[in-house]
Structure 1
């Protein structure tokens, strides 16, 4: 059965015009460290303040994508790299938070007669 994240991706990317630019980042936050889950070596990254964009993660991988299927592939790949530690309730438990971020840019469409965008 399709989960909530995949349904949201299908709704977002299915409704986007073909010329939309979409990129994904996927990071793990564990013990106050941020790791890039889309890189095989999963480097530890720094949170910085950008004057234009506000808080951002310096050096994070941004992977261009156009489909929900590709984003889900990235999520599966990143989930395999997440930190796991044994707990009393679960021998293979993820002890981290994962953050999937999509950056979507849709070029402005010219106004049609009557003020509506096409």
Structure 2
């Protein structure tokens, strides 16, 4: 893997950002031709954090020439599921070469009456 970045996710709830332990986190990388690659499935620790996941990224130089079509970062989607909380999907998380990305994953408690609504967040590409 010539170029890579790292991602660490942090799962929490509430305005006080209380950590959520044992949330299931899946990190999926955007691949070529619309295919996706599963990079990691893990559960959050007592602090709500995941272990670091290394993600292959494009070369930083490939996007610095005029008219370059390649983005200077890799993109991943993160799925988070935990009993008693809404399912959460964070799309287009950007991972840059040589950088550690910290992605916050705010979970919303489900109402006691049940239901399983999902929350989805789309992150637009950086304006580079």
- TM-score per shorter chain, which class? 0.3 to 0.5
Higher strand share: 2
Higher helix share: 1
Computing the radius of gyration from Cα coordinates, the structure with the larger value is 1
